[in-house]
Amino acid sequence: MKFMNTLASLLIACFASAALAQEPLSLDEEIQAIKQEVLELNRDLFILEEELLFPGSSQLAVFLSLDVGEYFALDAVKLSIDGEVVSHYLYTARQLDALQRGGVHRLYMGNLKSGEHEVVAVFTGRGPHGRDYRRGATVVVSKNSEAKHLELKIVDSTALQQPEFAIAQW
């Protein structure tokens, strides 16, 4: 029995420095460069996608924002344009958290002809006192040759102790 051998192996295990040698940075640099280039590629693809599929002259984008959310816990939003449901979105807890911290969700992007259109959003979730809550908001938008952006806003009204739902046009 070589006691010192055992001891040495234990000491190595006990104080061991990394089994991996200090990796050369080339792979790390390569991966970071790939990340940057793939991000740029995705950016260019995103821009071209929007220009081709949703050009400004017909584009309608609908966003959703949430302020505080004390009186309303959002579950889902159903969005209809001219009576046709174009989006029915169910939010995860993580997404709700992101909304409450100031994030804005791009709910829908599509194309509209010039002219007037009715946009209806129906919000479902839990309202004050944890009760099931379902409310709608409607707006008639006049689409011209510029891109149209709508913001569905859920705001707490402290005066009414109720959530308020509004649609803002940009």
- Return residues touching other proteins (CB under 8 A): 1, 3, 6-7, 9-11, 13-20, 22-23, 25, 27-32, 34-49, 51-53, 55-58, 63, 65, 67, 94-95, 97-99, 101-106, 111, 113, 149, 151, 153, 155, 170
CB of 132 to other proteins, least distance (A): 26
What the block records as the tokens of 127 is 């309202």
Q: Which is nearer to other proteins, 37 or 134 (CB)?
A: 37
Distances (CA, A) of 64 to 37, 54, 58, 111: 30, 19, 20, 18
CB of 8 to other proteins, least distance (A): 9
Q: Which amino acid is at 52?
A: L
CB of 112 to other proteins, least distance (A): 9
Q: Which is nearer to other proteins, 3 or 132 (CB)?
A: 3
CB of 64 to other proteins, least distance (A): 9
Which residue from 159, 163, 156, 161 is spatially nearest to 68, judged by alpha carbons?
A: 156
Q: Which is nearer to other proteins, 52 or 140 (CB)?
A: 52
Which residue from 79, 154, 91, 89 is spatially nearest to 119, judged by alpha carbons?
A: 79
Q: Which is nearer to other proteins, 111 or 161 (CB)?
A: 111
The C-alpha angle with vertex 161 and arms to 158 and 162, in degrees rounded to 5, equals: 110
> Is residue 48 within a helix (H) or strand (E), and if so which, with residue range?
helix 26-53
